[in-house]
Amino acid sequence: MEFEELLQSARGGHAAALGELMEAAATFCWRVLGRFNTLSAATREDLAHEVVVILLDRGLQQFRGSTEIQWKAFLKQTAVNQAISLMRRDKYDIEPFWSLDEDISPDLQVEEEEAFRKLIDCTAELSAQEHEIFWMRLRELSYDEMVKRLGLAQGTIASKYHRAQQKVKNCMQEVGFG
């Protein structure tokens, strides 16, 4: 079955298609999370399962793409965000990565990793609430979902996101990425 058909069937509630998609997602997330050397194997496994729960809860419906490449990019970002959130919460040293493309040139991979490190550094300057809102929006959570989770007014969330986005943009420009 082609990926697009599998995704459509899973979205339509076909249990076998949903199971196949979630199993592939867990395997892919495990591979993504393997790049976080400071996390134990058990923690990476827990995070991979957490990503699957997120997908089952709301992610599958929020995913706006249709191709396997878009799906993997969505999974990668979700897994990375979950790992970074856990690492920040538990005060780990963050050892991020950026690209999973095995074919990517070493120079481009180094450049992408450096940009990602700078992004992490820039988001570290945000308040805890701005940081949470910033990453929620990057994960494409709707404002309605954020209102439910945070208990804040939609206008407050939008305002805080805009300020966080501006701070990150300015920071990235200051360090030469922007």
pLDDT digits (tens, 9 = 90+) for 2-12: 888 988 898 88
Mean of per-residue pLDDT scores for the chain: 80
pLDDT-derived band of residue 85, with 50, 70 and 90 as boundaries?
confident
- What is residue 95's predicted lDDT score, i.e. its pLDDT? 45
pLDDT-derived band of residue 155, with 50, 70 and 90 as boundaries?
very high
Helix-helix angle 41-54:68-89, to 10 degrees: 120
- What is residue 96's predicted lDDT score, i.e. its pLDDT? 46
Nearest to 155 by CA among 144, 170, 171, 167: 144
Q: Return the CATH number of the domain spanning residue range 1-94.
A: 1.10.1740.10
Q: What distance in Å separates the CA atoms of residue 129 and residue 73, rounded to the nearest whole number? A: 25
Q: What is the pLDDT of residues 126-144, one digit of tens each?
A: 888 888 888 888 777 889 9
Q: Return the CATH number of the domain spanning residue range 104-178.
A: 1.10.10.10
Query: Where do the structural domains in the chain lie, given as residue ranges?
Result: 1-94, 104-178
Residue 97 phi/psi, 5-degree rounding, is: -135, 175
- What is residue 35's predicted lDDT score, i.e. its pLDDT? 73
- What is residue 98's predicted lDDT score, i.e. its pLDDT? 40
Q: Of the ranges 43-52, 61-70, 128-137, which one carries the lowest mean pLDDT score?
A: 61-70
Residue 20 or 93, more confident: 20
Q: What DSSP assignment string belongs to 109-127? A: HHHHHHHHHHHHHHHHTS-
Decide if 71 contacts 63 (C-beta within 8 A): yes
Structure tokens at 88: 């920040």
Q: What distance in Å separates the CA atoms of residue 97 and residue 170, rounded to the nearest whole number? A: 22
The burial class, CB within 10 Å (0-12 / 13-18 / 19+), for 25 is buried
